[in-house]
Chains A and B, each alone.
Chain A
Amino acid sequence: MPAPAALVTTGLSKSYRTGHIIQGRRPALQDLDLEVQRGEIFGYVGPNGSGKTTTLKLLTGLLKPDRGDARVLGEPLAARSWRFRAGYLPEHPYLYDYLTAAEYLDYAGRLFGLPASRRREKTRELLALVGLERSANVPLRRFSKGMVQRAGLAQALVNDPELVILDEPMSGLDPIGRRLVRDLILGLRRAGKTVFFSTHILSDAETLCDRVGVLRAGRLVRVGTLGELLRLDVQHMEVLVSGLAPDAPGPWARRCESVGERLRLEVDERDLGRALAAVEAAGGRILSVQPVRQTLEDYFFREMGAAAGGASAWGEG
């Protein structure tokens, strides 16, 4: 018998109370039907207030659903047993600043009932994994935001979980930290784990995810692989040239944009040959030619339209 899905939600809904005197309710998540398969990396994306964090809090028991149900690793949401097999990193984690990183991981291990020797071993292993082995005995209050994020990630893995739920795991990380987390997530998949993570950094979702769920205003609007969501065929070619005046490109350039002393040209794939010949004939130098496919970001701006409100709309959800 195949193992049940890592995560299944059925009609999961949550609303928040608004106002003090005259109370109303604002829906935060409506009728979420979602299935995350074992061993996949599932990206949960959407603009501000779309319900991403609400979903993750419902799954981890920090919020109680108004209605609907969920099964995690084949067990009912309310059961305690699946929690032994899952890990969670909240958004902007705050870990006890009076503890050192090693003490915090030891404490997290105790909550899973791990014996002392296993906790010591796991602490060493995880601190090395997130690049904090040299800061093991430094109080968390002296950690930078990125270091706290990495320590938070380590505590989510202390029980060697089958399912890892991460809320904005790249938040607050520098490029090195982001690369580290990306590699770590890919490593988890290689080890057969399931990763369910929310993000507003679309390039991360695009790089990592097997499937993506798109959330808008508390509703799941699309679920699918990147291939299903995006047009993966080449949209146009991007040609970077130097040594040309901005008005030099001919009619074969759909768009022309100055980038310092260079020009970035947008050219139809079928016009590429003529365009390159024309650039050389005009005395220009071709620096690069790249095919441009639709990105997840393009998809979002198309799908969300005015509702997303532009790039500023991205953030916590």
Chain B
Amino acid sequence: MSRLVAVAANTFRETVRERVLYNLVFFAILMTLSGLLLGQLSIRQDEKILKDIGLAAMDLFGTLIAIFIGTGLVSKEIERRSLYPLLAKPLTRGEFFLGKFAGLAFTLLVNVAVMTAGLALTLLATGRRPALALLGAVYPILLGLLLVVAFAMLFSTQTSAALAAVLTVGVVVAGRFADVVRNMREVAPDVPPWLAEGLYAVLPNFQNFDFKDKVAYGDPVPGGVLAWVTIYGVVWIAIVLCLGLVSFRSRDFQ
């Protein structure tokens, strides 16, 4: 466990020293602040617009961080061979892989916390009281981001960082349109039902992590729903991490 924590701590240090992280956080803050301007252009919708844009920035830039840093976590280690001296130590491949995941997960947690604080401060600055209900959208976003990291790491165990990024983007996009996949027979009746159902089953439904609209309109997200989303997210993350682990443990480092 101490070795897993050591890898996680080092991964956190690695990610916070990545320039790309700061670029993305900068743009996310810029986008949140742009909500101030757009809010003034709307009539009595400024709070909703602020929340909408703030949460969307958190989701979008969090996903970009998860993909671009996540895909490099393992594949760059393999390409540069920096993991060779580490794996010769009493560090199992499982500890290395899960430590990398935990490190980036912590980075994303800090990142989402900073952006949530930024959004709350923006709301306060415009005379609105940020409600705790905001977390009803933030928490599922974080779960979704962790699932993106798990996919990015799974692909990066066998391909280059660039190809892993393309594959992860593919899964994220398809997962955000998972309902369309499930109902594709409505627009394409010739598609066999097993294909539509099969595709839906192997894709995570990223819409399940999306409560942005609900929260922006001021509707609370019930605790039962959040519990269900937690189970859904954790099960998916566990499955994808297990696949990644099997893939990582089976590979040779030539």
Contacts and interface: CB of A to CB of B under 8 A. Distances in A.
A155 B6 CA distance: 15
Interface stretch (B44-52, B88-96, B113-121, B127-135): B88-96
Contacts, number: 80
A269 B6 CA distance: 64
Contacts of A95: 82, 85
Contact of B91 (A16, A99, A111, A152): A111
Contact of A90 (B18, B84, B90, B252): B84
B90 A84 contact: yes
Contact of A112 (B10, B87, B89, B252): B89
Interface residues of B, number: 24
Given A80-B90, A98-B17, A111-B91, A89 B3 contact: no
Q: Mostly helix, strand, loop or mixed at chain A's interface? A: mixed
A80 B92 contact: yes
Interface residues of A, number: 35
B13 interface: yes
Given A94-B80, A98-B14, A98-B17, A111 B252 contact: no
A86 B252 CA distance: 21
B82 A94 contact: yes
Given A98-B14, A110-B2, A113-B3, A62 B85 contact: no
A57 interface: yes
Contact of A107 (B10, B18, B92): B10
Interface string B212-248: 0000000000000000000000000000000000000
Contacts of B85: 88-90, 93, 95, 108, 152, 155-156
A251 interface: no
28 contacts: A16-B254, A57-B84, A57-B254, A60-B87, A62-B84, A62-B87, A64-B252, A80-B92, A86-B88, A88-B84, A88-B85, A89-B85, A93-B85, A94-B82, A95-B82, A98-B14, A98-B17, A98-B18, A103-B13, A110-B2, A110-B6, A111-B7, A111-B91, A112-B89, A113-B90, A155-B85, A159-B89, A165-B88
Interface of A: 16, 57, 60-64, 80-81, 83-84, 86-90, 92-96, 98-99, 103, 107-108, 110-113, 152, 155-156, 159, 165
Interface of B: 2-3, 6-7, 10, 13-14, 17-18, 80-82, 84-92, 252-254
